[in-house]
Amino acid sequence: MSTQPTLSPQRASLFLVAFISLLHLFLAFHVELGGDEAHYALYGLLPDWSYFDHSPMVGWLQIIPMWLAPYDWSARLVPIGVYILLNALLYRVTLELFCKQAPNHDWQNRQPIPNTSKWLGFWSLALLNSCLILTLMGMAMLPDNPLMVISLALILVVIKLLETNAFKYWLWLGFLIGLAALSKYTAVTLVASLILVMVIEKRWIWLTQKGLWLAVLIAVVMITPVLYWNAQHDWASFLYQINHGTGNTVWELDSLIRTQLTQLASYTPFIFLLGWWMILKPEHYRTPETRLLLLFALPVTLLFAWGSGYEESLPHWVSLAWLLLLPIIVHWAWQRRDKKWLKPLMYVHFILAGSLVLLAHSLLYQPNNPWIPFEDHKNPIQGDYGWPQATQTALTLQKRITDEPAKLPLFVSNWSVTSHLAWYARPQPVYTTGNRQTQYDFWFGSPKAGTDGLLVVPHYEDTPPKTQKQGYFERCNLLKEEPLSVNGAIVVTYRYYHCFHFSPPLSTPLTTAEP
């Protein structure tokens, strides 16, 4: 962790964030949108008070970019900007917590720690940008992106409330909780964290503060768009979220273990193992500054650890927790910077993790790099590759069959790929076979019974497609098979079917995966 004395931590941090941002901007113009990116770009094109599967913030942030320039690259401008802000706030939180100390746990008398370096802030950013999934999220819009930024700002406000209890910070608290709730439903864990902070820090007097109840009122008023949308749609979003993580009736340890192994790979073994050690070791809750971050990381960690026993959690769902653990890990390592074993460990982590970050970004740019040859249909980005070409082929086939696209609407065989085709085929509606309710049912409605359609199926979905069931066609004829190759290796193969006589889905659409 030694550094050149002529380079300040602020400047080093600026160089690091600038490099990552420029890398993201370059890829923004050369890489097609992933499924989630296309989905939330459509949110921006079709703005609403809220949405079926998420709170509205992720769509609201895309309204202006989509209105000005509805292209792939413009869908990435906001997340790149949000990621820059995330780096800045993480730097600030790290210094605010670990360059000061509260003697005798007295937050109101916190003093700067002598001889503490601001390099702590830089190393928090270095750890953040060595984490593959968090770095990739820095260019792809997800509900977690604004939630993480808002949560870091909220922690800074909580620090001020612990120090001063000034009225203006209560207003900020309510505003930030409202923004968090508009970003993602799991923002409810922030409320749990605030309650834990009040209890652990023995701030019962907060319950008598007018500012607290005004903050509650502000947050409630701010979430009225979500409540309004749900009231207009039979509370569909709330029901979906409740069923989403508990749709299975049996809790399985294997599912929990698989989720944790995925997180180990996504967040690197160094961050994963140290992070869990910070959470599980009681000693780490004795220091006020470390305890504050742990109290905000713990509820979301427990929520998804429990929920993953019913349904495997995607690694980015718990990104907030791992983000908040980074300053704790850095502070722990900084206190042991003279240990001989630490430097080799850090070197190994940053060399391997940094190389993986650069390698993954290069793979996005060139799906089959000469130095990483993949076999046919084994490329890890096959699900997000080739959709512009597949869409053009589908539209060409559609015109060949009929001059009226409405008579042969576009279909996909799985809800998870609907956004790809819907984004590139817009403004045509795209329908999904099956019985799962999705946001697209609210946008496009359901096709009528007996409708014929053009079905686009990538090779990793069921082929031939299911037929003769509710929610599916009576029969499908293969029109064309189109393999898309890079450097001689097939990345993905698309199949196009002319399908006949659609049978409407079940009367009550399923909100969880079909058996």
pLDDT of residue 307: 87
Given a contact cutoff of 8 angstroms between Cβ atoms, the answer to whether 116 and 95 are in contact is no
Amino acid at 463: T
Within 8 A by CB and 6+ apart from 413, the residues are: 432, 433, 434, 455, 457, 461, 462, 465, 466
- Rounded to 5 degrees, φ, ψ at 116 are -95, 130
Rounded CA gap, 24 and 75, in Å?
12
Residue listed under structure tokens 């079926």: 52
Select from 181, 162, 173 the least CA-distant residue to 292: 162
Rounded CA gap, 432 and 440, in Å?
8
DSSP string, 434-492: SSB--HHHHHH--PPTT--EEEEEETTS-SSPPBSSTTSEEEEEEEEEEEEEETTEEEE
pLDDT of residue 405: 85
Q: Which residues pair with 502 in a beta bridge?
A: 473
Bond preceding residue 9 cis, omega within 30 of 0: no
Q: Where are the beta strands (DSSP E) in 105-206?
A: 111-112
Radius of gyration of the chain from Cα atoms?
25
pLDDT of residue 248: 64
Given a contact cutoff of 8 angstroms between Cβ atoms, the answer to whether 24 and 364 are in contact is no
* 387-401 and 418-425 helices, crossing angle to 10°: 70
pLDDT by residue, tens only, the chain of 515 residues: 454 457 889 999 999 999 999 999 999 999 999 999 999 999 999 999 999 999 999 999 999 999 999 999 999 999 999 999 999 999 999 999 998 877 777 788 887 877 678 899 999 999 999 999 999 999 999 999 999 999 999 999 999 999 998 999 999 999 999 999 999 999 999 999 999 999 999 999 999 999 999 999 999 999 999 999 999 999 999 888 877 655 567 888 898 999 999 999 999 999 999 999 999 999 999 999 999 999 999 999 999 988 888 888 889 999 999 999 999 999 999 988 888 899 899 999 999 999 999 988 988 888 767 667 788 898 888 999 999 999 999 999 999 999 888 889 999 998 889 999 999 999 999 999 988 889 999 999 989 999 999 999 999 998 889 999 999 999 999 999 999 998 888 999 999 999 999 998 876 444 443 32
Rounded CA gap, 134 and 139, in Å?
9
Q: Which residues pair with 432 in a beta bridge?
A: 412
